[in-house]
Each structure stands twice: as structure tokens, then as C-alpha cells.
Amino acid sequence: LSSIVMASKKKVKKSSMPLSAPVITPGHVSQIERLMDLDERSEADWRKIQLHLDSLHKLISTSLYERKTFTNKERGGLTIILNLLKETSRPPVVSCIIKILDVLCDHKYKLKLVNLDVVKTLFVSFARLSKDQGKSLSPLQVEYITVLLKLAPKDKTFATKGRLAGILPVVYSLMVHNFQMPTHCVILVQVLRALVTSSTNVGMLQSLGATALLNKVLQKYKLRDLTVVKCTADTLACLLKQGHESSKSAQSVLKALIPLMEELYRLDKQKRHVGVLQAVVSCFKVCIQSNSHLQETVRNGHTFLVLYEMAKEFSKENIKEQSDISGLACQILKICLPYERVEIPCFENPLSYPLPKPVEVDAPEEPPEGYTCTDSSREADKVEESEGQTSEGQTVSDESQHHLITKCTSSPSFSVNTLQPGQYSGEVPFLEPCDELYQDNEENPDIPDATPGNSFKSGIDDMVTIFSDIPVQSDTEDPLTLPVDAPTGNQQNEGSVGLGESCLQDNTSCSHQVSNEYDLQTFDSFFPELELSEEKSVLNDTITASNILLENNVVTNTSCSTFEGEDAVFGLVEGKGDQSLEEVYSAVSTSPRLPVKSVDNFTHMPPFVRYKDCRPSEPEAQVKGPFNLEKMIILHNVERYLNAKTCLNKVIYDNDEVLNGSWTPPDPDLLHAALQFDARFECGNLRKVVWVRDNEYDIQLNSDINSDHHHQWFCFKITGMQTGVPYLFNIINCEKPKSQFKHGMQPVMFSVKDAETGNQGWKRVGKDVSYYVNKFKFMEVRDGNVLDKPCRTATFTITFPHSEDTCYLAYHYPYLYSDLMSDLSELEDKLDSTSVYYKRHTLCHTISGNDCPLLTITSTEDDPTAYLSKEYVVLSARVHPGETNSSWIMRGVVKFLLSGDVSANLLRQKYIFKVIPMLNPDGVINGSHRCSLAGNDLNRRWLNPDPLLHPTIYHAKGILHWLSSKHKPSLLYVDFHGHSQIKNVVLYGCPDPSGGTVTEDFPKLLSSVAPAFSLKGCTYKMEKNKEGAARIVVWRMGVVRSYTMESSYCGASQGKYKGLQFGMDTLEEMGRHFCDALLLFKVNNLSVFPLAEQEC
């Protein structure tokens, strides 16, 4: 039965189709075309055209087939009537054509009409028709406008076409004479709304007086016709948003809007007209933004309270229109809130560190011919953001802190071979000048090929270092780097490397340029695996050329505080009575502690150093706040402003006063009721705490030392809490424009009681976590100018698990310099010397005198020459102190490489690893976010590193150049970083110089083994503002696979860890997967199995 029914339906459908040619084409359209071809048309001809148009209108209104045939380009029916519309302005004919177009608009032919430029034709015809019409709006004009409004959303150039057709004064004139009639006023305002999408149109309409006219419309209709009010408010908002005279008009418009908004909100209890209210509030917001003087007027009036109540009421429901109204009201409230000054003496960190200076010596009496050396100065350096991020400001330049002048002298007793890599830590020893200082360095000698018999001693001529106005910077390309368009794995630089220093005098170049150059012989000691006569000891080796020089030239910096385990003052640990620092580390290492040199005097060693391996068993979920969290935060701040008299606003911690000795603790009763804060420990960062009221605290952070920005990293201690009480923390002077705090990330907390009772370490905490631009500003007067910077707030609420506990809050899982040194000692104690070749060197000393470790890891070989066939992999991390996630990944890498795992053994057999686990120890120790003690972003100093101000970068670059000089360039270089604005782990690389995809092979392999890694997030490009970054400079040195690994502070948005935050386990696992990819890379090079093509 069903088959019979279906067959009958098909027959009916077929029978409805015409068997012959369609009626339209041979009939009405052809007749219209014939009549249009006449040279002269009589009235009878026009009546026939009108009759054919009426018939066409009836046909296309009822038949889909006829509509398709009429709009078919080959049949040309639509084109014919458009040509007719261009020729005539006879109202009956034009009306028929407009009706046909109206039918087509209603049946989804709008885009086709727009493509045929119907809008332009209609505008021209409407302007021509309006000249013949009176001042009142005719029915035919209404038909025109109706069709135009239907086409406007589909035509992006609607406003421009209207202006070019001269429609603006026509519409304005009609508006002036017809706004008294609601039906006419509505459609004319709608046309104006479509025309003001062009800023040029806005200026023309404002000059005609459109803003004042629309303001009259608002005052006339008020609540009598809400449709007119809605359209008018929308149009006014567009006019004021783009207009040049917006601030002048905003005040008069606001006077009409305020009573209208208050009445509408008060009377519409059933919320039937929320669309009208939304349009009015949106226009209100534009007025406030256009005229800043109105903000104070609104803030001090009754309207502010009305907006506050409106925002609270409409934010309760997750209904789109109501949610939009509450969002607009909250934005108005936020705009109207007054700015507050961040109460700190200056932008800069209250701590400063005197930068190292070369010793001044007398100038030679008769310098060699052709050479001059004078005092010089440089412009301030700009500090850029990390990989994938943008710059927000400038650091205080090195020269503004210390103007360093060196004069060159001559003495035959000086030997360039005494310039060792480790020499540049602390202050430079006295340099005895010699005639060699004036050697010509225009041509560099060739570097001999490496052979097994020459112990890999450098064949480079001796090179010298001349210090003139530190830090050294070049206006030209670094001689160390290769051309951008031609880096290759085997390409070598000729001769030695120069830092490109220029001597300047009276802003002109001198006749001779001298460059700071590497003496590569001094780097031989960092490659003991290639010293064929050396015994293969796997014990900890810190005796290098750097150390020998330091033993002979001990330099003590009195500005640096030493924090050692033996120190009785600093050796006590929180909650452990008289337990010493040595005992604290007994759980992880029996090796003696190295001293930690800091700028501030630390008061204690944080206890969480013992609990690095205590962490949650499962990754913690990313936490999203309620749908109206941002509105709740704004309303909270408004309520705080309205009740400012009830706020305490007591300063309970001020690091500035603590440092200068003027700090007076608050009243004991007050102190007992409030939380207590401290951050004078390794990696701590806290400047000021204000107890606002109840359980709310405003917190300010320190900038990096010798810098005036990078307020982001925080780590501080809290005591005196009560369990079950929600404490609200607002970190009010953050600088990053965006943060993962707004997208599921939480801060981390360490509880001493939890650690002691449950062996539990750091964990993610906090609810209602968000990040937003606040109403605080840094303000400071310099040279008569007021400088200000906007601030962001990171806010979260924490309920502590125990009363009277000691807790530590941090931006991300801390990894201290002390953690690194204790980890290395522990790993060395467990080392299997039969299979692991391991040495720990001191690459150099930092500005404050801390050791920068360099690790050499490979397999123990019976035949010493076996080391010669291995490729090098160079890894570095923690150039930015606040990016602690990079250290956790590096920890996973080092632990795996030194383990007894079969894969680790294979890796050691294939590669020699040079690992610099912490490039910026000073920044890590002193709680900086991005800079070293020199106030510089070290990842922008690879192009021309200064041996005094950037010693770790200078020597790390020297390691890579040493490999290049021996024709053993690194197979792979990876610099580990953290990223505050992305999810997942990604690699940023450089383009393949051969035009292929060589640089993309390792990321593909990594994506096949690491669930946290995102291949889609990887990029292979070089930005101008990052030309001093490690990956680009190393790429130019010939290491094609040079990468920056960026790991999210938050977590993953894909794969196994989607929706989860990265923990310490996940990050260390990423380090192991990195090693797996390296092994897979070696196997793929041997063509054992195919390269991974897709992301895991």
C-alpha cells in the first residue's frame, strides 16, 4: 500500500511540472523587452508594460519554478526589469517593479539581488523619485525603503552605495518632515541605522544635525511608542560611537536617556520590553564612553544606584536578553568607578643591585695609529615579551642605572689566555693591558677541521676583550650569526666570534671598531668527553677553567646576601624548632649545600623544598567560575565603592618600609584578627598587603629587580587563618594583558600541616578565579610628566583546610634554585657509573655570584673515540624566572636521562647531551618574573650577550659556537619556557632554509608520543621583535632544528589531558616524552618505521 501511495505522489509531482516552455519567458518578459526597444513609447505602451509587470508579480508570487526561471541569468528576466527601473520614474511602473523585488526578497533571493547591484539601482531611483515627491513620505517611498531594509544586512557596502547615490540628505530631509508620524518615523530611523555603519556617513549626518534630530525623537515618544524608541536608541548609539562630535552631543542625549531608562526599568516589572531597555542602556554606555566628564555626573547621582540594582536583578537569570542588559549595566558601572592610584613610592622594585663595572685604568700615552677609543653611551634597551606574546613597556636601561666608562691602556704583561669563561662573574679582575689589544681583527683565521689526534684544541688565534661602556650592543648584525637565508647544519663561521661593540665619539663612528670575542680554548674544559687522554670519571666535576680563575681571583660582592645551611640565623625552618637547613635537605640529598646569594636577606628557607615529589595522585580539573562571575566581580567592586566608609584599608605588610627599617607593625589586636604575610625567602615576591575589610585583601607585587615592570610572579607565606572561612585575595597590579586565570587555571597552595600529616605538597586551589582590567593605575611624576600604567587584577577565593596553619600561595608550582642543586646532588648519589657518563660543570657565575650548572650526559664508552661519532643535543631552561613549568619539564628530562631505563640508555648511546637547567639563577632566587639582575630579558640578549651583564647567555652561546667551530653543530637545540596565554605544550621553530619541512619533523614525532603536546599550536616563523631570542640566534648559527618549547601554566584543551590542569607529574612526564621523541627521531632517521604525520 505504501509503495502505491509513494508512486502516486511521484506522478502528481511530475504532472505539476510544465511540459512546454515556461509561461514567463515567451510571454511577459519578451513583451516587456519588445516594448522597451521602441524609440518612443506611448501611454498605451506604458499601460501594457504595467499589465505585464502585474502578471509577472502574480506568477512569481505563486510559483517557485517561475521565480527560478525569472532570476535565471540566461533568461535575463530580472536584468530586463532592472534596466526598466533605471530608465523610468513612472510611479505605477516603478511600484510594480518594487513589488516584484519585494517578493524575491521574501523568498531568499536577497544575495542574488545584491550581486546584481540592485541596492545601487534602488538608491539612484529613490533619490530621483524623491525630487518629484513632496515633503511627506509617499506609499511608493515606503515600498522602496522596505525593500532596501531587507537587502541591507546582505550588502556590506550598503552605507557607501547610499552615500554615493546622494541618499543621505534625502533621508534626513524626509526624517525632519515625517518624524511626527510613528509609522514613518520607524522606517526612516531604520534606514539611518543602516547608513551609519560608515564613519564617513556619520560625519555627514552629524553635520546635517541628525544627532539633535534623533534626540528630539526620543524626547517626543518616550514610552508612548517603544518601537520608535528602540530604533532611535540603536541609531544614536552608532552615531555617538563613531562621530567626531560625540562628546558634545552625548550630554544632551544622556539627559533624555536617564529619565527614559529609569521609568522603563521601574514600570516594566514583567520584563516584556527588555529589548527596548537593552537598546537604551547600550546608548547610555556609548554616551558615558564618549564624554568622560559625564562619568562623575552619573557616579554622584541617583542613576548610579539604579544601574547597580538593574545589574544585580538581571544577572540572576541566564537569559540572553537579561544577561545582555546586566552586562551593559556592569560595564557602565565599571567605567564610572573612579581610578585609584597604586600606593607605592615608585614603579621600580624597592630592591636594587649594583651592576658589575670594569676597573678604570689609565689611557696609553701613544695609542697605535688608526685607533681611537673614547667614552661612549647607548640608548636604552627595550624589553619584549616571551615567545608568542607582545611587549607592554620598557625596562629601565642599563645606562640609566650605571654609567660605565673604561679607558684602554697598554702593557706587555697582559695575556689574552687569562680571559676564561668564568671570569665574568661578579666584578671583573684588573686587566693588565698589552700591545695585543690593538691587533687588527678585520680578517679571522680559518678554524681547522677536528681530527681524533689533536684533542680538539682550537686553532683560532688569540682574541681579546675590550670593555667600553657596558653593556655592549651592536648596531649591526652579530658576527657570530649566519645569514638569515642560509643556515645549514654543516656551515661554519670563519674565525672567531665578535660581540660587535662600536666605539662612538660625538655620535659619530670612530675609524676602528673592536669587538668582544670568544677565546674558544677556554671552553675546552666543558667538553671532557672529547679529551681523549682524560680518565672517564662520572663523579661530580666542578673543577673547570672558570673555577681555577675564581680561586686565584676571589671577588666578593658586599651587596649580596649569602644564605647557607650552616648559617644559624637563616637555618631554622618553619614549624621545625631548631632543625637546620642541612636536616631539611637530608630527605633528598646528603651532599653539602651550595650557598645561595640573594639581594635581600632571606629570613627562612621555605619548607616546601622537601616535598617536591608529594603531589596529587590525579591531574586536577580546570575550574570555570559561574556564568555571571565577571558581573559578580564588578558588582562586588561597586558595592565596595558604595560602602567605602566601612572599609578598614589597613596596611598589614609593606616591603618598602621593611627594607628601609621604618616598618611599624599594626596594632596587636588588629594583627590578631588579620592574616599575616611574608615573602622574604627564596623565590618570594610580595610588596604590599592591604586588609580591605572582613576577609578581603588587596595584594601588590614587586617588579623585577633593577626594572620597573613585570609584576606577575607571586609567592608568599600566609599565617593566622581560620578554617571554613572564605578569604578573598585581589592581586591588583598584574601586567599581562591576558591570563589563563580567566580560562580555568588556579593558583597553587602548599599547606605545612597537610605536608606534615598527609605527606601532601602543592595543589591547585581557589574558586571564582578571574583576571580583569581594574581601576588601579601606577602613577608617578617624572620630569614634570605624570606617567601611568593600567593594572590587571588576579582574584580568587580560598578556604584554608586548617586553622593556624602556615600556607604558601604561588602563581605556579615553584621550582627553586635550591631545588635544582638538591636534585642534582640526589641524582649524582644514585648514578650508575658503569653506564652513565655524567659531569656537572659550573658554566659561569651569575652577576651575584651564583653557580650556573652545565651538565654533560652520555653513555660510558670503552673506546674513547666512540664519543666522536655522537651527535650533540643542547637543552636549556628557566631563562625567565617566573616560568617554573619549564624547570619541571627539564627535571623530567634530566631524571630520565640519568635513569637506568632501556630507552634512556639508548639515548645516551646515540647522543651527548649538554644541559643548562637554569639560565637565570639570580632571577629565580630573587623572585623575579622575567629579568635577570641586570634588569634585562635574557632571551632578548642572545644576539649580543654582554659577558658582564649577561654571563649565562654569553657562555651558553659560547658552548654552541664551540661545537660549530669543531664542525660538530648541535643536532637539536630546545629552550624550555612557560606561556601564560595558551593551553597545551607547543614548539616554536624557525623555517626550513631549504624550503622544505625539516624543522617540522621533530614536532610531529613529539605529537605522536606526548598527549599534552599540540602540533596544531606549533609555528615556524621568525618575528622582528624576537631576533635576539635563543631559537633564532641559534638557528642562524647553523642549528636548523632550534626550538622554543612553550608549556601552558594552565593545562590542555585536547587529548588525554583535555580539561585538566598540568601538575608536576604531567610536566615531568612531558620531559620523558621529549626524550622518547628524541629516540624516535633517531630511529626514523634510520628509516626503521615511518615518520608520524598526525597529532596524537
Cα 52 to Cα 181: distance, rounded to the nearest angstrom? 35
Predicted confidence at residue 546, as pLDDT, reads 36
Does the pLDDT at position 866 exceed 80? yes
Cα 632 to Cα 895: distance, rounded to the nearest angstrom? 45
Higher pLDDT, 690 or 521: 690
Predicted confidence at residue 3, as pLDDT, reads 56
As a whole number, the mean pLDDT across the chain is 78
Please, what is the end-to-end C-alpha distance for the chain in angstroms?
A: 53
**In a 10 Å sphere around its CB, with 0-12 CB exposed, 13-18 middle and 19+ buried, how is residue 186 labelled?**
middle
The highest-confidence range among 270-274, 538-542, 632-636, by mean pLDDT, is 632-636
Nine cell digits for residue 996: 622544505
Does the pLDDT at position 652 exceed 70? yes
Instruction: Out of 114-128, 217-231, 427-441, pick the least confident.
Output: 427-441
Dump pLDDT digits (tens) for 574-601: 333 344 333 433 333 333 345 789 998 8
Instruction: Out of 160-174, 177-191, 431-445, pick the least confident.
Output: 431-445
User: Percentage of the chain with pLDDT > 90?
Assistant: 53
Predicted confidence at residue 965, as pLDDT, reads 87
Predicted confidence at residue 6, as pLDDT, reads 53
Please choose, from the candidates 1042, 1050, 546, the residue with its C-alpha nearest in 3D space to the C-alpha of residue 766.
Answer: 1050
Does the pLDDT at position 689 exceed 90? yes
Q: Residue holding cell 618570594?
A: 684
For range 924-930, the mean pLDDT: 96
Predicted confidence at residue 611, as pLDDT, reads 83
Does the pLDDT at position 459 exceed 50? no
Predicted confidence at residue 1085, as pLDDT, reads 64
Scanning 349-497, the segments in alpha helix (DSSP H) are 398-401
The SS3 of residue 615 is coil
Higher pLDDT, 1036 or 8: 1036
Please choose, from the candidates 1071, 681, 1054, the residue with its C-alpha nearest in 3D space to the C-alpha of residue 886.
Answer: 1071
For range 966-987, the mean pLDDT: 92
Predicted confidence at residue 973, as pLDDT, reads 96
Q: Residue holding cell 677541521?
A: 449
Predicted confidence at residue 242, as pLDDT, reads 81
Dump pLDDT digits (tens) for 721-770: 999 999 999 999 999 999 999 999 999 999 999 998 877 889 999 999 99
Cβ neighbours for 717, distance < 8 A, ≥ 6 positions apart: 574, 606, 677, 678, 679, 681, 684, 806, 807, 808
Q: Where are the beta strands (DSSP E) in 813-903?
A: 836-845, 851-859, 871-877
Instruction: Out of 186-200, 440-454, 663-677, 820-834, pick the least confident.
Output: 440-454
Predicted confidence at residue 789, as pLDDT, reads 76
Instruction: Out of 82-91, 95-104, 350-359, 789-798, pick the least confident.
Output: 350-359
Dump pLDDT digits (tens) for 55-69: 999 989 988 888 888
For range 410-424, the mean pLDDT: 30
| 778-814 burial: b if 16+ Cβ within 10 Å, else e | bbbeeeeeeeebebbbbbbbbebbeeebbbbbbbbbb
For range 203-207, the mean pLDDT: 91
pLDDT band at 989 (very low <50, low <70, confident <90, very high): very high
Predicted confidence at residue 864, as pLDDT, reads 82
Do the strands 836-845 and 851-859 form a parallel or antiparallel pair, or are they unpaired? Answer: antiparallel
Dump pLDDT digits (tens) for 940-964: 999 999 999 999 999 999 999 999 8
Higher pLDDT, 591 or 35: 35
Dump pLDDT digits (tens) for 342-389: 887 777 888 888 887 643 333 333 333 332 333 333 333 333 333 334
Does the pLDDT at position 422 exceed 70? no
Residue 926 near residue 839 (C-beta atoms within 8 A):
no
Predicted confidence at residue 19, as pLDDT, reads 35
Does the pLDDT at position 829 exceed 50? yes
**Torsion angle of alpha carbons 884, 888, 893, 894, nearest 10°?**
90
pLDDT band at 512 (very low <50, low <70, confident <90, very high): very low
Does the pLDDT at position 295 exceed 50? yes
